[in-house]
Chain A
């Protein structure tokens, strides 16, 4: 099985711009979660999508949004970029059924630099 793929792998943007990141989950996985990783805060949960619906959300401002398509692929969008948004954005996929068989598998991440 192919793993979780994320595109692009690297992005450089300037303050005020917006950005869209893409994630393709493992085949058969219906849940996609997004995380932000920074040296200071570590890995922080952004949101989770399951069957095209957001079913969980972390404590991030409304500038961070996402969506999921019928094929389970997901995108996240950050509008009005700030310097503090520079981070590694990680996508994780799972079956989405919960319980002790539902583990999350991470993609390689998209490294976003805001100048």
Chain B
């Protein structure tokens, strides 16, 4: 079993829809949780960064972390065709001697006009 599980999709929604992307994980030591967006033939771009449990909002994006359930989510409101990309969750335990991120498989999202 992988440390981080993410439904690869693909997920197809109409423009304006609310999108929910999710990851589950098994390592209770994870404290830092990230969402990256990756367009085709590009490197991942950091979208959201959350420490421990709780919610964080940035424009149309909201990240939620529930450490008790080992479950994280990314919500996209008023989705746009430009949001079409692969969304990757990533996490680590935040120790000072490692930059190692554990990634989910990535969910491919298509927003149709």
Contact = CB atoms under 8 A, between A and B. Distances in A.
* Chains A and B bind each other: yes
Interface of A: 4, 31, 33, 35, 42-45, 48, 50, 55-56, 58, 90, 92, 94, 96-100, 102-109, 111
Contact of A94 (B42, B99, B102, B104): B99
A92 B99 contact: yes
B100 A99 contact: no
A55 B97 contact: yes
Chain B: interface residue count, which band?
Answer: 20 to 34
Contacts of A108: 42-43
Interface of B: 32, 34, 36, 41-46, 49, 51, 88, 90, 94-106
A98 B94 contact: yes
A98 B97 contact: yes
Given A43-B88, A100-B94, A56 B43 contact: no
A56 B97 contact: yes
Contacts of B44: 43, 90, 106
B113 to A, nearest CB: 27
A45 B49 contact: no
B102 A45 contact: yes
B99 A48 contact: yes
Given A48-B99, A55-B97, A106-B36, 17 more contacts: A42-B88, A42-B104, A42-B105, A43-B88, A43-B90, A44-B103, A48-B100, A55-B98, A56-B97, A92-B99, A97-B96, A98-B98, A100-B51, A104-B101, A106-B43, A106-B44, A108-B42
